[in-house]
Amino acid sequence: MRNNARSARIVPLALAALLVGGLSATTATPAQARTEAQASARPTDAYYLRFDKNSVTNSRLELVKRTPGKDKVLKTYKAGSGQVKDTCAVGKGWLPNAGASKPYAIEWHRKNFDGIINGFVIKIADRKCHNGTKRTELFIHSEMKPNGNQGTIESERWTNSNPNDYYSNGCIKLNPTDIKDLFKRLDSIGWPKKLYVVD
């Protein structure tokens, strides 16, 4: 009788714990949901980004797939970088080159970044230029609000001209449509770990 009474008390408690545990396991905050969604597209070496410098407002960012023989360019985007071609000019020079032996690391990406730059943002590693000056705060980004929409102030509204929004403070800059397309592709195929910069 005692054993039956004890079992009668334990079973409901165990069931309640299981139900509560199940609810807590399936309930996620919006931040957790974003993190889990980003984690689903795991970093991969099968793809990489390559920035081909031509001019500060008219260069190319390429999404490339590694293939036997010659790698395949999947998509090319018009991009800008900096305001001058001096790679050592902090906050206004275009990116220092980064070849096969030492590419930039892609550190993280966000779709809702809120800072000096906003919205869809890819962070790349710091880099020293040829004279040893360290270039920091390097990103691939656009001009938009933190939620990805266009704003009313200049830094959150893409105009293409007056001013030419491909100018940047030393980062790689895409128009809003292109950076959203890049995110969509990489969320699907996997995020590359490396960025190569050539001219």
Stated pTM of the model: 0.79
The confidence score (pLDDT) of residue 29 equals 41
pLDDT at residue number 164: 92
User: DSSP states of the chain as a string?
Assistant: -HHHHHHHHHHHHHHHHHHHHHHHHH---HHHHHHHHHHHS-EESSEEEEEE-SSSSSEEEEEEE--SSS-EEEEEEEEEE-SBS-TT-TTTBPPPPB-TTSPEEEEEEEEEEESSSEEEEEEE--EE-TTSPEE-SEEEE-S--TTSS--SSGGGS--SSSS-TT--SSSEE--HHHHHHHHHHHHHH-EESEEEEE-
pLDDT of residue 161: 80
Of 21-35, 85-99, 101-115, 150-164, the one with minimum mean pLDDT is: 21-35
* pLDDT in the model for residue 41: 61
Checking if the pLDDT of 3 tops 80, the result is no
Q: Is the pLDDT of residue 7 over 70?
A: no
Bond before 163 cis per omega within 30 degrees: yes
pLDDT tens-digit readout, 108-130: 999 999 999 999 999 999 999 99
| 167-198 pLDDT, tens digit each | 999 999 999 999 999 999 999 999 999 999 99
Is residue 13 pLDDT above 50, yes or no?
no
Residue (of 155, 54, 156, 143) closest to 95 by Cα position: 54
Give dist(CA 108, CA 80) in Å, integer.
20
- Over residues 59-100, the pLDDT tens digits come to 999 999 999 999 999 999 999 999 999 999 999 999 999 999
pLDDT value at 22 more than 70? no
What is the Cα–Cα distance from 102 to 112, expressed in whole angstroms?
29
Share of the chain above pLDDT 90, in %: 75
With cut-offs at 50, 70 and 90, classify the pLDDT of residue 19: very low
The pLDDT assigned to 43 comes to 77
- As given in the structure block, the two tokens for residue 182 are 């890049």
Which of these, 91, 95, 97, lies nearest to 116 by C-alpha position? 91
Higher confidence at residue 131 or residue 160?
A: 131
Give the integer Cα–Cα distance in Å for 114 and 110.
9
pLDDT in the model for residue 85? 96
